[in-house]
Structure 1
Amino acid sequence: MTPLPDDGETGSFADSAGAAPAPKDPPHYHGHRERLREKFAMSGGEALPDYELLELVLFRAIPRRDVKPLAKALVRRFGSFAEVVSAEPARLMEVEGVSAGVVSDLKVIEAAGRRLVRGAIRERELLNSWSALSEYLRATMAFAPREEFRVLFLDKRNHLIADEVQGRGTVDHTPVYPREVACRALELSATAIILAHNHPSGDPTPSAADVAMTRAIVEVLAPLKIVVHDHVILGRNGHASLKGMKLI
């Protein structure tokens, strides 16, 4: 039989039809995920930019997709890793690609972070642990979308008895009632308190209303021999101490 001329193909139609399909290359993000996990294992979270740390969180909720674009979109929308995990669920869901599972994982990270910093102050004398206290308040309040007014109730050793949110308000106002603060301090047998609230605008500068409200609480608590050690205002751009500013 005369052989057919070579037409440059690598096999007959019958051969190609019966051959197994060529294996597909794995998605490019598989290698990226492993490299990022290795980078985290070797250098820790401090070595990663916010979007890469966020990618590691998103891996669990989104196992089969490149999550780098979503991580960058979230940081671009909210500003930082801390602001992403602190954002309200409804606002997170506005970002394309964010599912209920993603929101749940982000809120677990937020709760875990708060639990860690709270543990750092629980058995410490707070007036001598100012850096730990400011870190706790920052993690708890600085990125909240609405104003929260928080009271830390202390015993005679200045150890924390309770940390309670006394009121939540709008983006620029929270109603506070000095007598309610006094009643709760008496219920807990507190001998001192630290006041704290956040400014969602980001600027921690105290307003005239902040100063007036603080002085009203000091006035109500003074006859009860309950000391107001400070009023700390938290913002994305830092914090302000009314005591440090000599306003109380």
Structure 2
Amino acid sequence: MSGSDDGFSDASAPSPHFHGHRDRLRQRFREAGHEALQDYELLELLLFAPIKRADTKPIAKALIARFGSFAEVLAAPPARLKEVRGVGDRVVDELKLARAVAERFLRAPLRERKVLSSWSSVIDYVRAAMAYADREEFRILFLDKKNALIADEVQQRGTIDHTPVYPREVMKRALELSASAIILEHNHPSGDPTPSRADIQMTNQIAEIAKPLGIALHDHIIVGRDGHVSFRGLQLL
């Protein structure tokens, strides 16, 4: 059952003891940075803005207990977040804003440099964008002839273990954008990034269609909570 955005009603608001805790937590963050904070403490800092009249520690701890980690809280669907007592629309907005900021920050190097020379940045971005999603997503990076990023698009969203991918639609979009190369990306919500038989078959189909069109398939990256795999690295391309 969803709670209010402030965590509790005014009638049951806790005593102001948490104000000193907020000041101390902010001071630790200023002096030592985020590495000095546990996941629930970093969440507390985020919750200070939408929750002004209640102690954010129990809500932050409840979120971590429910979803497992800071990253998984940010990636959780709004409806599931609201199942935690004290989480309402404003809290969800704050968490989704934090995730959007992280994704945009990690995507910046891809726009500023040639993608293939920033491979660690590609992996960091793909993991942040997709590794903790609860449904499969199929995303494509479209590159120009200098391997600079033209567009980053989610082509399909599917179920917990399947996303329909249509190779001809992938190529149609690449031609529309005048892309010279593409990088395929998708996630495995199970956590295990090992490619399935269907993943390999679909990748081969796209590569076969792309080649006569002069479009290079640089890689297919699969991410999950347990890591990532590269088709190029596995010599599947």
2:221 aligned with 1:228, yes or no?
no
Deviations 1:127-150, CA, capped at 9 Å, x for gaps: 111111101101111111100000
What secondary structure sits across from 1:204 in the alignment? coil
Q: 2:12: which partner in 1?
A: none
Aligned equivalent of 1:239? 228
Q: Which structure is larger by alpha-carbon Rg, 1 or 2?
A: 1
Give the structure, 1 or 2, with the largest relative contact order (CA under 8 Å, sep 6 or more). 2
1:135 aligns with 124
Give distance in 2, aligned partners of 1:120 and 1:34: 34
User: What root-mean-square deviation, in Å, do the aligned CA atoms of Structure 1 and Structure 2 show?
Assistant: 0.9
- Superposed, 1:177-188 pairs within 5 Å as 177-188=166-177
Q: Who is 2:87 aligned against?
A: 98
Query: What are the equivalent positions in structure 2 for 1:52-67 lying under 5 Å apart?
Result: 52-67=41-56
Structure 2 CA distance for aligned equivalents of residues 128 and 120 of structure 1: 10
Q: Which residue of the other structure, out of 44, 65, 72, is the alignment partner of 1:83?
A: 72
Alignment partners' CA distance in 2, 1:120 and 1:41: 26
Q: Once the 2 structures are TM-superposed, how far is the Cα of residue 27 of structure 1 from its aligned partner?
A: 2.6
Percent identity reads 64
SS in 1 for 2:221: strand
Count of residue pairs brought into register by the alignment: 223
Structure 1 residues 72-107: Cα deviation after superposition (integer angstroms, max 9, x where no partner):
110111111111011110000011111111111111
Amino acid in the other structure paired with 1:96: R
Q: Which residue of 2 aligns with 1:107?
A: 96
Deviation at residue 28 of structure 1 after TM alignment: 2.1
Question: TM-score, normalization: structure 1?
Answer: 0.88
The gaps in structure 1 that reach 5 residues or longer are: 1-25
User: What displacement does 1:163 show?
Assistant: 0.6
Q: State the distance in 2 between where 1:82 and 1:60 align.
A: 19
1:37 aligns with 2:37: no
Which 4+ residue blocks in structure 1 deviate beyond 4 angstroms?
none
1:29 Cα offset (Å)? 1.2
Report matched runs for 1:143-222 at 5 Å: 143-222=132-211
Q: 1:71 aligned to 2:60?
A: yes
Residue ranges of structure 2 left out of the alignment (5+ in a row) = 1-14
